[in-house]
Amino acid sequence: MLYMSTRGRAEPKDFAGVLLAGLGSDGGLYMPESWPRFSAAELRALRGLPYAELAARVIAPFVGDCIAFADLQAMCRRAYAGFAHPAIVPLVQLDSAIFALELFHGPTLAFKDLALQLAGHLFDHVLAQRDERVCIVGATSGDTGSAAIEAMAGRDRVDITILHPEGRTSEVQRRQMTTVTAPNVLNVAVKGNFDDCQDLVKAMFADAPFRREMNLSAVNSINFARIAAQIPYYVAAALALGAPDREVAVSVPTGNFGNVLAAWAARQMGVPVQKFIVASNRNDILCRFLNANDMSVRGVEPSLSPSMDIQVSSNFERLLFELLDRDAAATEATMADFRATGRMAVPDGKWQEIRREFSGFRLSDEGTLAEIARTWRDAAYLADPHTAVAVAAAREQGPVGLPVIVAATAHPAKFPDAIEQAVGFRPALPPHLSDLYERKEQYERAPNELAAIETLVRNFANRNR
């Protein structure tokens, strides 16, 4: 399996190369040259497998010859061994048609653990093979940072720097990052929003001398390895609900488009997903695009669901690439124009193609609180603010007669203030995080300036080396 950049000017790479590179040298995102596909019989054969076994089989075609299947299988088993639920990604029925796919039973209580716990083992394996060391840089709107740090802390061949927008995450999200004291971890609070942090990461990759000097790598979902590791949980959920002999729909709370892209990739591989519902908060650029072909950037507004406080959805470029028939030049030109003008021009015919599969849903903070309360009252289910937005979207836009898989992306205890507003009590953190508020925090503060961030990253990495 080889991977090509959405902008066409980066050298094709195998899976190991994509894992370590993260972003293409041309600024594009790597995509498989073709999508592997499972037959109906092959999908049925996955039914009933333990999650780690299913994950290894789903991911294997993307890995190709880079990693022996037995090694990949062992890495999946180790990655998910510490999850708090034996099913790893259990389905919980909320009503006759809506099922919450719980993706928060990993160590940092968010769906990012499903990909990043495995990514830690993948990095170890590939870096040991190559006798290399990398400097990982990442941006987070809340959950990616803590999951990446948890996965990479203490690893011998990795230094990791995570940028988070100062004051724009929940306290639990921030403390899960800033209380980790491993010597290979650096946290930086940037004066700005998530889009600013994400732009700084991309700018570091675009700075070719700096990228080579630091041997940069990425853990955001710009890294295709993250997407590959998220596909299995949609396969598992669809199989549990009758696939491949029954169609399903998915409702995903998303800002950066990576999680819903993984569901779309599962469909490319043969899973019968009929509809993709993109659930947004007030930062509704994806919703406006899907409902009115209005992909225009506005200011990022803080909300009760901070992981979706995003206006520039990086992974949308991958879907755009497919929509434009994998025309890399057209993709690059469209993205350059978007950067220059803040508005993406998608031809109406192409937009109509997306509309046949995707719909957008927007929910205010007030609506989010109401949905948390409603789900607790009607189903005795405590949904975090992001999951609540997706549940409301499923109620509103779920296709009649089909089960809707709602991506339950975070544990409610990560957002105790919002939960208390909605239902009158604060959910307790699990035992392994019960002293989180007493732990000492350690992080740097920095302006939204590339030179300042690069200096921090360079000094940190050189100290460790």
Q: What is the CA radius of gyration of the chain?
A: 20
Cite the beta strand spans of 254-307 per DSSP E: 273-280, 295-296
The string of DSSP codes covering 85-119 is STTSS-EEE-SSSEEEEE---STTSBTHHHHHHHH
- Give the position of tokens 């999650």: 51
Q: Contact, 141 vs 174, CB < 8 A?
A: no
Q: What is the largest CA-CA distance in the chain?
A: 59
Shortest CA distance to 399 belongs to which of 349, 354, 352, 357?
357
Asked if 278 contacts 254 with a C-beta cutoff of 8 angstroms, the reply is: yes
Q: Is-contact 79 120, C-beta < 8 A?
A: yes
For residue 188, give the H/E element and its range: strand 185-190
Q: Provide the 3-class DSSP secondary structure of residue 252.
A: strand
Judged on CB neighbours under 10 Å (0-12, 13-18, 19+), 293 is middle
CA angle 118, 119, 122 (to 5 degrees): 95
Per the residue annotation, which of 13, 112, 202, 275 is the catalytic one?
112
Tell me how far apart the alpha carbons of residues 105 and 110 are, in angstroms, rounded to a whole number. Answer: 7
* CA neighbor of 3 nearest in space, from 401, 383, 318: 318
Which residue's structure tokens are 């690059």?
A: 332
Report whether 141 contacts 255 (CB < 8 A): yes
The yes-or-no answer on residue 275 being catalytic is: no
Asked whether the CA dihedral 289, 302, 162, 173 is positive or negative, the reply is negative
- Residue listed under structure tokens 């957002």: 415
Contact indicator for 244, 270 with CB cutoff of 8 Å: yes
The length of the chain in residues reads 465
- C-alpha to C-alpha distance for 361 and 122, rounded to whole angstroms: 35
Per DSSP, the three-state class of 402 is coil
Transcribe 128-155 into DSSP letters.
Answer: HHHT--EEEEEE-SSHHHHHHHHHHTT-
Catalytic (active-site) positions: 112
